[in-house]
Amino acid sequence: MGTKKQEEKSKKMWTKVLAIVVGVLFVVLMVVSSLGSSWISSVASVKPGDVVVVDYTIKDAQGKPLVTTDAQVYKQAISSGSNILYSKQLTMTANQSAASSIYPVQVYSEDSGWSTQFALFGNEYSAISNGIVGMRVNGQKTIPLSENKPMTQVWSAEQLEAHNVNFSALRVGNILALGVSQNPDAAYSNSTSEYYMRLGEITNKTEGDITLDFSYPSVDVTVVSVNKASS
């Protein structure tokens, strides 16, 4: 008789435990269903054709940030006296090349606010677009941009002084902000071509000129969101 009561008591206990487990499972299912399909995109990897929002930080050859979407990185650079631009996030289609030689990106600077557009070169945009394939939301990656190929220009002291740049004060390693255009003849004509800001590093200085390198070795990217391409 005691054994029978013990079995009944044990059965009731397992019934309660089972009810609790089912209840918890029901709650989990309700939570998952309330997320819809958004949780799927957060774990799925980026595929060609997906629309992806990314944070990014472009750095120079010494690893110093030049353009960033990271507010903390921007504030630290400004406080240390570095030249840096604060950028809006990039929204791009994965594995899709840029449609033109320059992809304008709205940026903020201490001098001009949000009125400036930074020139992300077409090959750099394409490198990022291709490099994010296979990444996931919150994933981070360093993507090569220039393949160690410098893009240099030589500027004479006269040219710089004409743009109100104090030649004598310039040093190797300084960063200069200059305008670039999709029209290579814009500087020598009366063209109304639009100009975009590009940051160049002084890599050499002589008595009469400087050499500016406009190439960027790499960019650090973080995937913020992924909108899956419709099948």
Question: pLDDT digit string (tens) for 68-111?
Answer: 999 999 999 999 988 899 999 999 999 999 988 899 999 998 88
Buried-exposed string 35-56: b where 16+ CB fall within 10 A, e elsewhere: eeeeeeeeeeebeeebebebbb
81 Cβ contact partners less than 8 Å away, ≥ 6 residues apart: none
Looking at per-residue pLDDT, the higher value among 146 and 172 belongs to: 172
200 Cβ contact partners less than 8 Å away, ≥ 6 residues apart: 153, 175, 176, 177, 178, 212, 213, 214
Interatomic CA distance for residues 153 and 11, integer angstroms: 84
Q: Where are the domains of the chain?
A: 2-34, 42-149+215-227, 152-213
Q: Give residue 170's pLDDT.
A: 94
The fold of 42-149+215-227 is Chitinase A; domain 3 (3.10.50)
Interatomic CA distance for residues 38 and 134, integer angstroms: 18
3-state secondary structure of 230: coil
Looking at per-residue pLDDT, the higher value among 32 and 140 belongs to: 140
177 strand-pairing partners? 199
β-strand 90-93 against 51-59: which pairing, if any?
Answer: antiparallel
3-state secondary structure of 185: coil
CA angle 155, 194, 215 (to 5 degrees): 45
Q: Tell me the pLDDT tens digit for each residue of 110-152.
A: 888 898 899 999 999 999 999 999 999 999 999 999 765 678 8
Stated pTM of the model: 0.75
